[in-house]
Structure 1
Amino acid sequence: MIKYLCLSVMILLGLNLNAQHKLEKLWETDSIINMPESVLADTKAGVLYVAIMGNSADAKDGIGGIGKLDMSGKVINLDWVTGLNSPKGMGIYKNRLYVADVTDVVVIDIARAKVELTIPVAGSGFLNDLTISDKGIVYVSDSKTKKIHRIINDKDEVYMENIDGLNGLKAVGDQLFIAGGGKNLLKADASKSMVKIAGLPQGGDGIEPIGNGDWLFSAWGGYIYYVYADGRNELLLDTHLQKINTADIGYDPAKKVVYIPTFFKKSVIAYQLK
């Protein structure tokens, strides 16, 4: 009996080990991207959009912009759109790319590679992440004022307030997922009722759904976590000792590839999620 019990325990341990997720590095660009803060994967177009802040995370200096890479990390054009300030979170709806840019949301006509509209976000101080619902509603986080703004028909309004540690956002259906409330992954429904999904060791930057109820959660200091729907988490990547930041990640759910902007290291790194 003891022999069989030990064998059963070993099998269970083996299954648990096999269940652990991991990241395997695929490629890294040269260190030629001036403070990349966010990566957005447009898998239909085969393009990675990179928000390039320039020399500062909050300066209105006009030297920021949006660059383009292909899905293998080859540079298409790092000056695809220029003249922005310190751009961060991005989202695509129809033929427009929306970008959080300090106190404005910049709207870019993708086909023309031109800024077609700048939407001032009233009372904002440090717009950070941005997400767009399938109905075209834009949500943008303000880490300084602890508010989430909502933009409908190019008009902004305050949507939620008083969220400590606010950063990453992701709209999924009529739900809004939030990195905030300290070091948590939160979920708000259409009535703004908010529940905690998971507590993490670090405050969040980028959040991306895996597609099965689980999540990827990046922390700027150099950490990537796999977060299960039941609140458990696994540390997938720790680069803080190498001083490689892990800012607002992008994700290709079909190929399970994670794209990491390294901020001060001036590169984008791709990892295969396994």
Structure 2
Amino acid sequence: MNLLLIICSLLSVQFAFAQTKTLEKLWETTEGIHVPESVLYHDVTDKLYVSLIGQGGTDKGEIAILNTDGSVEDPHWITGLNAPKGLAIHKGLLYIADVTKVIVVDIVTSNIVDEMVVEGATFLNDVTVDNNGIVYISDTRQNKIFQLRNGKISVFLDSVPSVNGLKYYNGKLLALAGKEFWSIDANKQVTVFTKAFEQGGDGLEPLGNGSFIVTCWPGLIYHVSAKGDVEKILDVQGKMNTADLGYNPKENVIYIPTFNSNSIIAYKLK
């Protein structure tokens, strides 16, 4: 019996080792990239939309467009923003979290079609859209998630500590709340999916099989299994930041904005 337990344990260790995720660096782009905070891959246009906070403060923020090979298509696609962060696209509209406003851009015409002030907001950080077009925006400093519905903005959920990354997925609103990963249902019931991160979470992307990639701004990238098991796959703390990532499911590539290192890095996820 003891021998059987040992064999089972060894097999379990081997299986776990086989599941270990690795990252292979494909390219790094620095041209025109100044303090990138978020990358969004859009499968319809096959482009990368990048929010650039910029150096120098107010009205220096921009949205750039990159190709999936790392070449820069337009470093100044949308200009005159403040400190744009999270991005989401729904039915041809790009939603941008920009400090205290939600900016809406028509991605075909490149025109800003709406600009909404979020009353009470101080640090809007990420944004996501559900299947019905309802927009959710996190405010990290106010510990709140706002909701944009039928043209009106209201508080969806408060007391969400240091809430940052958001993603609507499989009927749930997923949120990175400090070092915890929350799943929030339609009745606003919260389930803590996992809480094993070393630092506060920044960006999250579903991989399509129930698992996720999560980044933490100080320089950490994690794989989170469908069961909530957390595996650190990159630790570059003290060397560069790993902000709000983008994910290309067709190529299984993640795109990391390095913030203070002023670049975008693409990694093949293996």
> TM > 0.5 between the two?
yes
Q: In the alignment, what sits opposite 2:261? A: 265
User: What residue is the counterpart of 2:53 in the other structure?
Assistant: 53
Q: Which moved more, 1:12-21 or 1:146-155?
A: 12-21
Is the contact between residue 133 and residue 173 of structure 1 (CA under 8 Å) also seen in structure 2? no
SS at match of 1:168: strand
Distance 1:4 1:213 in 2: 31
Aligned letter for 1:205? D
Q: Does 1:196 align with 2:192?
A: yes
Equivalent residue in structure 2 for 1:105, among 102, 106, 121: 102
Q: Counterpart of 1:51 in 2: which secondary structure? A: strand
Residue-by-residue CA offset, 1:92-113 (whole Å, 9 max, x unaligned):
0111111000000000011111
One-letter amino acid of the structure 1 residue matched with residue 25 of structure 2? K
Q: Letter of the aligned partner of 1:121 in structure 2?
A: V
1:8-49 deviation line (CA, Å, top 9, x unaligned)? 655543332111111111111126411000000012211000
Q: Does 1:138 align with 2:135?
A: yes
Alignment identity in percent?
41
Would you say how many aligned residue pairs link Structure 1 and Structure 2? 269
Contact 1:206 1:217 in 2 (8 A): yes
Q: Which residue of structure 2 lines up, in the alignment, with residue 73 of structure 1?
A: 70
- Counterpart mapping for 1:1-274 below 5 A: 10-30=10-30, 32-55=32-55, 59=57, 61-180=58-177, 182-199=178-195, 200-242=197-239, 244-274=240-270
Task: Name the TM-score, length of structure 1 as normaliser.
Answer: 0.93
SS at match of 1:16: helix
Alpha-carbon contact 2:31-2:72 (below 8 Å) kept = no
Q: TM-score, normalised by structure 2?
A: 0.94
Distance in structure 2 (CA, Å) of the matches to 1:12 and 1:174: 32
CA shift for structure 1 position 70 = 0.4
Q: Structure 1 unaligned segments of length 5 or more: list them.
A: none
**Letter matched to residue 19 of structure 2:** A
Instruction: Give, as a single letter, the amino acid of the residue that structure 1 aligns with 2:76.
Output: D
- Displacement of 1:75 in angstroms is 0.3
Question: Using the alignment, how far apart are the partners of 1:148 and 1:4 within structure 2?
Answer: 50
CA distance in 2 between counterparts of 1:169 and 1:11 reads: 36
1:246 counterpart letter in structure 2: T
Q: Which amino acid aligns with 1:147?
A: K
Q: Unaligned stretches of 5+ in structure 2?
A: none
Shift of 1:153: 2.5
The 3 A distance-change label for structure 1 pair 4 and 132 is closer
Paired letter, 2:193: I
> What amino acid sits opposite 2:33 in the alignment?
I
Question: How far apart, CA to CA, are the structure 2 residues paired with 1:251 and 1:272?
Answer: 10
Higher alpha-carbon deviation: 84-93 or 168-177 = 168-177
Query: Please, what is the CA RMSD of the aligned residues?
Result: 1.8
CA contact (8 A) 1:131 1:138 kept: yes
Instruction: Return the offset for 1:186.
Output: 0.4
Contact preservation (8 Å) 1:218, 1:248: yes
